Amino acid sequence: MRAARLTILTAVTTLAALAQPAQATSGWYLNAAGTGWSDASFVSSLNVAGAGFIEQAFSWQALGFAFEEHGAYQIVGAPASSHDLTVSYNIAGEVGLLSNGFTGGVIDLYSDSVFDFGSTNGSYGANNGTHIASFAVTGGQIDPLTRLVGLQANLVGGSMASGYFFDVAGNDLSDRGGISLSMGVQSTIIDPTGTHIVSELACEQAGFTGAGCNGRPYRASFLNLGWSTVQDTGVATLNIPALSQPVTAVPEPTTALMMLTGLLGLAARQRFKKG
């Protein structure tokens, strides 16, 4: 069982790496408190964990389903700091025979001096800190069977606050163009009982008006095609172009999906051997 989990984690990490431009740096420096380069720590990737609420409906265009997801992540395992890093996101996409991937969305990153993620402060305690960056979703791949997700997004120009992110030479990235975000996530459908997921992410953030938000109890069901609550874990990386080199194109979606399929095959083979 442990080997299978490690294989899945490797698949997620590799999927995130697929979208990195060839000329991107292999790491950067992060100061979650925003106090400058002298207090920054080197990182090559960040682990994320959180929850989301998904609404979906049949789509003729995709010959499958169109969906919207609202949620929140916390950066876990980041360098020790007096500030928490949290994410609030709203994304949309399609999963079907004719279309598979993301059609848009925004990912907002916050620095918070109060570690209240998962609470009722702000929206799930994820968007009540200092806004330090926004990323516009540009594409990605989704495997509906394994619920492995690969996502790419570009930094919104002028949205990165100074004092938080630096390249390996100590240059503040707030004025750098061409920065993008790659993320690989494993998503699991969950029963949100005992959490603030429904009240905060479904009712407040997504504006859902169904069960759980209209006075009737929320009933989790793995067979429900209309909406669901999920728990996510994954890896996020920043793709930072060198000062003297342009950003190269990310891999074609078909190439990335082929790589993802291969990785899933390796995971399945490992589980078969263990069995």
Q: Using CA atoms, how far apart are residues 242 and 135, in angstroms rounded to an integer?
A: 19
Q: Using CA atoms, how far apart are residues 86 and 128, in angstroms rounded to an integer?
A: 9
Q: What is the pLDDT of residues 186-225, one digit of tens each?
A: 999 999 999 999 999 999 999 999 999 999 999 887 767 7
Res 170: pLDDT = 94
For residues 216 and 267, which has the higher predicted lDDT (pLDDT)?
A: 216
263, pLDDT greater than 60: no
Q: Using CA atoms, how far apart are residues 144 and 163, in angstroms rounded to an integer?
A: 39
Q: Is the dihedral of CA 37, 41, 44, 50 positive or negative?
A: negative
Q: Using CA atoms, how far apart are residues 71 and 112, in angstroms rounded to an integer?
A: 17
Work out the pLDDT band at 244, boundaries 50, 70, 90: low
Q: What is the pLDDT of residues 18-62, one digit of tens each?
A: 444 434 457 999 999 999 999 999 999 999 999 999 999 998 988
Burial class (CB in 10 A: 0-12, 13-18, 19+), 88: buried
Mean pLDDT of 56-75: 93
Q: Which amino acid is at 96?
A: G
